[in-house]
């Protein structure tokens, strides 16, 4: 399996990298990489967090890399459960899915499963101009605007939790569970390493049959691309091994739930970390506090993008170790924004490791959009006069935090917050915003009348 790109720096938890600007899409190589696959799948990730696209014969790979393959604007309005939601596009318009050569992954043949080459693509207009509703373009634009207005580069890492079915009951975090997942676990780590996705940790988690996989940090767009690819590689391998797998936020009302944790580190133009200041509360720099203030200020609207399923908010409640409120804290897994620990072992540099973790996200979100809205919100904090947030110390008593602002209690509440937040709405092309609202409300309508358990089951079956 081969990923056609040059991996970023691996030293440190969030070590400096040197990300550069990305064009709307890259020029395809004259001689595309050889593949044993009969087909090449050109993919995007939609508003339901689903990977969709079209396949072309591998003999047409060069042509697809140069000019893409056809796509339709209304495809953006496909809901998680299948039907197309009401949308502004209708039957009109055409697009191109233009693959980014840097994202090419070869999934090798395995038993009866044939090989496949997979690319992630930008959605463009037929003349190659960016389409304003493309989720990947949204993140790229956010990265570039943050760089242009502040000189700041983003290094990101995205952690995923999922449940692997078909295993015996075992203890959380145990070697027993780790071994029960073999050979799937070793196959997965090997697959990710061969793909260049740079796995960092593979571990048994707390929930029944739950595991976590983390990837090394990289430039924001690369980190989000890897998050999209990771879920598909896990699902594909699990399918080949006959194991059910789910990234759904919850599998049962009283279950632990699966989250996605988005880690952010900021660098200046010379690659120096800018979040760390040992003299300030939580060792968070003034710039980092302002960046955090933007995220905290707009959290209710952001969750409509980062936790966008009909059951996401059943997980985002206090005392579940997900996100119990809208606050910033040192090393507290109930906080929306967590200041992560650093280590001085082996000469570790705290400044290079220092990062913020956003915890109100799950795998029903589109990684490009989830990361993009966090960067947009952080930029607002840097350029607007928002109050500096409190950094709650690690030893703060839980009862003191009972009074912090609450997250939305439902997807509908989050969508209403999005519609009411003029700043967040301004980041989106009106057609993209309207489509997202329509898709999410159609998903709510498709689950109307079901009890909590049935709603969770329907979502789990999709994710």
Q: What is the pLDDT of residue 322?
A: 87
Coil, strand or helix: which one is 391?
A: strand
Does any domain span residue 49?
A: no
Does any domain span residue 116?
A: no
Q: Give this prediction's pTM.
A: 0.92
Average pLDDT (42-65) is 96
Residues 6 or more apart in contact with residue 127 via CB below 8 angstroms: none
What domain count does the chain have? Answer: 1
Does any domain span residue 79?
A: no
Q: Is the dihedral of CA 110, 115, 119, 120 positive or negative?
A: negative
pLDDT digits (tens, 9 = 90+) for 293-325: 999 999 999 999 999 999 999 999 988 888 989
Does any domain span residue 207?
A: yes
Does any domain span residue 210?
A: yes
Contact (Cβ atoms closer than 8 angstroms) between residue 389 and residue 160: no
Average pLDDT (73-87) is 95
Task: Please give the mean pLDDT across all residues of the chain.
Answer: 92
Residue-range definition of the domain harbouring residue 169:
138-462
pLDDT digits (tens, 9 = 90+) for 113-128: 999 999 999 999 999 9
Give me the CATH number covering residue 155: 3.30.590.10
Number of H helices, E strands in the chain: 14, 16
Distance CA 73, CA 193 (A): 35
Token pair recorded at residue 286: 């003034």
Contact (Cβ atoms closer than 8 angstroms) between residue 352 and residue 415: no
Does any domain span residue 426?
A: yes
Does any domain span residue 31?
A: no
The two beta strands, 153-164 and 210-215, are antiparallel
pLDDT digits (tens, 9 = 90+) for 334-378: 999 999 999 999 989 999 999 999 999 999 999 999 999 999 999
The percentage of the chain sitting over the pLDDT mark of 70, rounded to a whole number, equals: 93
Does any domain span residue 324?
A: yes
pLDDT digits (tens, 9 = 90+) for 131-153: 999 999 999 999 999 999 999 99
Q: What is the pLDDT of residue 116?
A: 94
């Amino acid at each position: 399996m081969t990923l056609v790109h040059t991996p970023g720096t691996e030293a440190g938890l969030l070590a400096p990298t040197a990300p550069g600007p990305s064009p709307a899409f890259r020029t395809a190589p004259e001689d595309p990489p050889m593949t044993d696959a009969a087909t090449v799948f050109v993919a995007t990730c939609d508003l339901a967090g689903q990977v969709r696209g079209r396949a072309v014969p591998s003999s047409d790979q060069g042509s697809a890399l140069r000019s893409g393959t056809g796509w339709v604007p209304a495809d953006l309005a496909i809901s998680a459960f299948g039907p197309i939601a009401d949308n502004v596009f209708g039957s009109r318009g055409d697009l191109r899915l233009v693959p980014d050569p840097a994202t090419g992954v070869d999934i090798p043949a395995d038993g009866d499963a044939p090989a496949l080459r997979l690319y992630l693509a930008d959605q463009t207009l037929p003349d190659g101009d960016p389409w304003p509703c493309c989720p990947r373009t949204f993140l790229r634009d956010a990265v570039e605007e943050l760089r242009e207005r502040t000189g700041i580069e983003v290094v990101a890492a995205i952690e995923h939790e999922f449940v692997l079915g078909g295993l015996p009951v075992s203890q959380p975090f145990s070697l027993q569970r780790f071994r029960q997942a073999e050979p799937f676990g070793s196959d997965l780590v090997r697959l990710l390493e061969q793909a260049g996705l740079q796995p960092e940790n593979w571990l048994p988690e707390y929930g029944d049959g739950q595991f976590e996989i983390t990837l090394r940090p990289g430039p924001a767009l690369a980190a989000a691309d890897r998050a999209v690819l990771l879920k598909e590689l896990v699902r594909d391998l699990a399918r080949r091994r006959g194991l059910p797998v789910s990234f759904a936020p919850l599998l049962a009302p009283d279950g632990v739930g699966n989250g996605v944790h988005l880690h952010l580190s900021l660098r200046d133009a010379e690659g120096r970390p800018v979040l760390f200041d040992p003299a300030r509360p939580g060792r968070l720099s003034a710039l980092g506090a302002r960046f955090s203030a933007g995220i905290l200020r707009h959290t209710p609207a952001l969750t409509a993008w980062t936790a966008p399923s009909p059951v996401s908010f059943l997980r985002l409640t206090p005392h579940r170790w997900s996100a119990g409120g809208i606050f910033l804290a040192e090393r507290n897994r109930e906080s929306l924004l967590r200041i992560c620990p650093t280590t001085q072992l082996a000469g570790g540099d705290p400044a290079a490791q220092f990062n913020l973790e956003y915890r109100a996200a799950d795998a029903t979100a589109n990684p490009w959009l989830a990361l993009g809205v966090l960067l947009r919100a952080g930029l607002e904090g840097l350029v607007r006069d928002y109050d500096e947030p409190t950094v709650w110390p690690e030893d703060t008593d839980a009862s003191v935090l009972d009074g912090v602002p609450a997250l939305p209690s439902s997807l509908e509440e989050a969508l209403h917050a999005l519609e009411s937040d003029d700043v967040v709405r301004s980041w989106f092309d009106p057609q993209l915003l309207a489509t997202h609202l329509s898709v999410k409300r159609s998903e709510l309508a498709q689950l109307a009348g079901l009890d909590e358990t049935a709603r969770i089951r329907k979502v789990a079956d999709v994710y």
